[in-house]
Amino acid sequence: MIEQIDGHILAPKNATKYPASMVLGANGMLTVSSEPFSGQHQLETTEISAALGNTPRNITFNNGHVFVASQSQHLNQWLTKHSKPSVINKLEQHLGLIVVACIVTVIVTYSTIVYGVPAASKLIANMVPHSVEKQVGDYSLSLVEEMGFSESSLTSDRQAELQLLFSDTVNKLPQQAELFSQPPQLLIFSSKEGANAFAMAGGHIILTDEMIELADNDSQLQAVLLHELGHIRHRHIMTSIVQSSILSIAAAMIVGEASGIADTLMSVTVLGTSLSYSRHHEHEADNFAAEHLHNWYQNTDSLVSLYKLLQSKHQIDIPDWASTHPNLEDRMAELKKYSQNQ
C-alpha cells in the first residue's frame, strides 16, 4: 500500500521551510515533491533521525536536503516494515537486552579500571624519561614542609649512622643486578603523623624520626628501607601518578571540566608523595625486600617483626604506606612463607 505524508523541506544552509509531500513506496522508495527539491530516493541512501516520542522525524538525503515529517506516526509504521531496526532501537524495545547491555558496560568499565588502566599506567611510567621523574620528585620535595614534615630531632651522629646503613644497603643491590636510574637518597624528617616511611619520585626515600624510634633495631630499619627501594626499583611512584592522572583526566572530561586538566595533573603530581600503592605494588615491594633479606640473612624476620610493631602501635591509624591492601596480617604471612619456600 502506498502512503503519502506531508511536511516541509529544508535546503542546505538555508532556514527557509518549503511545503513538501512524500510518497512512501511499498518497495522502500521515497518520492519527494516540493518547490526546491523533488525526486526519488531509496531508504538505504537516507539518514533518518531517531524516534523520540511525538517529535517530528527528519530524513536527510545525500544532497543535504532535509525532509521534516508532520505525521511521524505514519512514517514510523512504514519504517518499521521497510528498515532494519538499529541496535539502539532493539535495546529500547527489549528490557532483557537493556539489562544485558548494562551488565556488559559495568564489566567492561570495571575491567578497564582494575586491569586496563594499571597495565597502561605501568607501560607509560616506564616510558617517562628519568629527567622528568626527577623533576617531579624535586617539586614534590619542595612541598615537604606543607605536608606536615619538619626537621629531624635526631642527633647528627645518629643520622650519620642511618645514612651509612642506607648507603651500605644500596651498594649491595647491584650485586643482585638491582640497578637504579639515579642514586636513591635517604631523607630523615619528623612527622606529625607518626611512624612513616615512603618513597618519592626521583629516588628520594623519607624516613621519619617516629619510625626510627619505633624500630627495635637497625635491621628492622634496613628492612623497611629495602621495601621502599623496591617501590623505586619498580617505578611504583610514577605508575601511581600516571594512573591517578588517567582517571582524573577521564573524570574531568566526562563531567565536562577538561579546562582544569592542567591543575588536575599538578595536584596529582604533588599527591604522588602520599598515594597509596595497589595490592600488586605492595606485594612487589615486599617481595623485593624479602628476596634480598633472605639472600643476606637467610630470613625475613626483620621486616616481619617491624610489621608486628606497626600493627601493635597503630591498631587503628596505620600509616598509608603500611595500610594499603593487602593488610599487615596477609603481608606477614606472605613474608614468612617466602622464607619457608626458599
pLDDT tens by residue, 116-147: 777 787 788 778 787 888 888 788 788 887 78
The answer to whether residues 219 and 302 touch, using CB atoms and an 8 Å cutoff, is yes
Q: Residue 88: its pLDDT value, please? A: 57
Q: Is the pTM of this model over 0.75?
A: no
More confident residue, 312 or 230: 230
User: What would the pLDDT profile of 231-287 be if each residue is shown by its tens digit?
Assistant: 999 888 888 888 777 777 776 666 555 555 445 444 544 444 444 567 788 889 999
Region 8-28: what's the mean pLDDT? 81
Would you mind telling me the total number of residues written for the chain in this entry? 342
Region 292-301: what's the mean pLDDT? 93
Dihedral sign of CA atoms 237, 325, 341, 303 in order: positive
Q: Scan for cell 530516493, then name that residue.
A: 41
Query: Which three cell numbers mark 297?
Result: 640473612
Task: Work out the angle at residue 97's Cα, subtended by the Cα atoms of residues 91 and 103, and round it to the nearest 5 degrees.
Answer: 115
What percent of the chain lies above the pLDDT cut of 70? 79
Q: Residue 276: its pLDDT value, please? A: 53
Q: What is the Cα–Cα distance from 24 to 276, expressed in whole angstroms?
A: 64
Q: Residue 320: its pLDDT value, please? A: 47
Q: Give the contacts of 235 (CB within 8 A, at least 6 positions apart).
A: 122, 125, 126, 133
User: What would the pLDDT profile of 316-330 be if each residue is shown by its tens digit?
Assistant: 444 444 444 457 888
User: What would the pLDDT profile of 172-225 be if each residue is shown by its tens digit?
Assistant: 987 766 778 788 999 999 998 888 898 888 889 999 999 999 999 999 999 999
Q: Residue 72: its pLDDT value, please? A: 74
Distances (CA, A) of 48 to 13, 45, 76, 95, 174: 18, 10, 11, 24, 67
Beta partners for residue 257, in sequence order: none
Task: Work out the angle at residue 281's Cα, subtended by the Cα atoms of residues 278 and 285, and round it to the nearest 5 degrees.
Answer: 140
Q: Are strands 29-34 and 66-69 parallel, antiparallel or unpaired?
A: unpaired
